[in-house]
Amino acid sequence: MSTVLSRADIQTNNPPAFPIAVVRRFWIPAVGLLVASSTVWFISQREPGNSELFSQAVWQQVDRSDLEVVVLERGSLESQSNIDLVCEVEDVRRDNINGTTIQWMIPNGASVKQGDLLLELDSNPMQEALDDQILLSENAIAEKIQAEANLKNQLTMNLTAEAEAKLLIELAKLELEMYVDESNGTQKLAVAANKRRIDDVNNEILAAQATMELRREEQRGVESLFKLGYANRNEVRRIELTYLQAEGQFAAKLNQLQSEQSALKKMQVYEQRKDLLSLQGKVATSERGLEQVLRNNEAKLAQMKALMRAKDESLKKEEERLARYKDQLEKCKIYAPQSGLVAYPTSKMAEIREGVPVIFRQKLLSIPNLDSMQVETRIHESALDQVHPGLPVRISIDAFPGSHYHGTVKSVAVLPEQSSWSGNDTKVYQTIVTINEKVTGLKPGMTAVAEILVDSATNVVNVPLYAVVEHEDETYVVVRDGDNRLQPRPVDLGRASETRVSIQNGLSEGESIAINAQELVGAIFSGVKESTPAS
């Protein structure tokens, strides 16, 4: 608790340099005797030369000295670097019930160095899971290789199908171009050939007609000879047959001419249009076929790529699981991250011992670094405005009387502790004080006293706190005058420490004061009550 005291601050509207609660802490024995009544008392002096009262006083000469203003609080030691180690091995059974069994552990309280083995968990379930995962990873690798081969094959097939579709388009266009060529086109040549056949048939008709007329003349000649008796009946019949054959040949050529002419007309009127439409449709169909091939290629390639990505992601997942299982297997052995002391949890609900299963993220042990310690304490709200990070601190340890360490305020909590919010008006704020030098022999949990130096005064008149008394809103010290009488004298107080307070006005260096004034206060002040109560 801080011990700052200023009478001037108390009497004025200025914020007090130290809380009133602190004043009462040190002065309550005297004040309880004098100000418990609600009435006003007059101050009177006992008779001079009262040897009995004078002999009870303990005298001390007033001098000047340096005065330190401190906030004194008790706390407990802890390590500045306290590393908590938790179970990082997952439950391979995924039930969060069985956990992983502790096979071996270093004794509680053992001193360890960085890298020492602290605790070993059962690694058999994790090893089995790792072996299974190796097989799954190999299968995933094989599937990815097959997916890569399928993707390459699909790329080749896509190129082949696209080339074939483009070739069909070129052939269809070439065929159409050959058909519509006005000089050497397929249709032009077919019409010319048909016309040549018609010409040939016309020539053949003329030849057949001439042959028929020749056979007709021969028939007439033979018939005349037959009538004259120079030819027989067989010759007449033979020549008639020859004539009939020539006539039939002539008729056949006429029919052939008609057929060829009909064919030419059909070719020029219908087949030309049909063939042109067919060739144009073939070109359009080939072009649409190319579009379809491109879309099919794109879809199949996308499917293969998606399958490839799926296999790749599957392989990554399997490899991640494999790496995690390997990491989990390594984490079955826990090593010291720093040198220090091994401390296991003391809770019976989470007992740490060999043969007991532990679950994922369960705290296993702590490794406090005993070379660097700090004090965890709590500052009363009345002294909160005086304490801030960076202030120097003197630290003493109850377990080692006479030991002193230098420290520094590291942090002051912004909010009070929750335990101080319920049912208690007193609020305290957690404060951390670091010990600046390296220490030996100190252990966490030891009781420490922190003297936080919040202010200091140099070469000031100061007296013990028990030499100061308060009566009716005035502060007094008891001095010895020249006739060895006890004389209460009003003074103005300044800054105070745990045991002493500075005097701003009313007391000079060299004077003698009673340092046990609070024991004599009842005898020093006496008076008669007024009839009117004090407000």
Average pLDDT, whole number, for the chain? 83
Q: Is residue 422's pLDDT more than 70? A: no
Q: What is the pLDDT of residues 325-367, one digit of tens each?
A: 999 999 999 999 988 889 998 777 778 999 999 988 999 999 9
Q: Is residue 24's pLDDT more than 60? A: no
Please state, in angstroms and rounded to a whole number, the distance separating the CA atoms of residues 480 and 503.
17
| φ, ψ (nearest 5 deg) of residue 418 | -60, -30
CATH 2.40.30.170 spans which residues of the chain?
7-79+369-524
In the numeric block, which tokens belong to residue 526?
Answer: 């006496």
CB 472 within 8 A of CB 35: yes
Q: What is the pLDDT of residues 106-117, one digit of tens each?
A: 999 898 999 999
Beta partners for residue 412, in sequence order: 431
Sign of CA dihedral 484, 488, 494, 499: positive
Q: What is the pLDDT of residues 437-469, one digit of tens each?
A: 999 889 888 999 999 999 888 899 999 988 999
Full DSSP string of 70-94: EEEEEEEEEESSEEEEE-----TTS
Please state, in angstroms and rounded to a whole number, the distance separating the CA atoms of residues 345 and 351.
7
Please state, in angstroms and rounded to a whole number, the distance separating the CA atoms of residues 168 and 285.
9
CB 394 within 8 A of CB 375: no
CATH 2.40.50 spans which residues of the chain?
82-121+337-367
DSSP state of 234: H
Going by pLDDT thresholds of 50, 70 and 90, the confidence category of residue 527 is: very low
Going by pLDDT thresholds of 50, 70 and 90, the confidence category of residue 287 is: very high
Please state, in angstroms and rounded to a whole number, the distance separating the CA atoms of residues 487 and 311.
100
Task: Tell me which CATH code domain 82-121+337-367 carries.
Answer: 2.40.50
Please state, in angstroms and rounded to a whole number, the distance separating the CA atoms of residues 22 and 70.
12
141-145, 283-287, 520-524 — which is least confidently predicted?
Answer: 520-524
Q: Does domain 129-329 bear CATH number 1.10.3470? A: no
- CATH homologous superfamily of 7-79+369-524: Efflux pump adaptor protein, beta barrel domain (2.40.30.170)
Please state, in angstroms and rounded to a whole number, the distance separating the CA atoms of residues 245 and 208.
10
Helix, strand, coil tally for the chain in percent (to 5): 45, 25, 30
CB 64 within 8 A of CB 509: yes
Mapping DSSP to helix (H, G, I), strand (E, B) and coil, where does residue 158 land?
helix
Residue type for position 496: A
| DSSP H/E element including 142 | helix 124-180
CB 518 within 8 A of CB 475: no
Ramachandran region, residue 6 (left: φ > 0; alpha: ψ -120 to 50; beta: rest):
beta
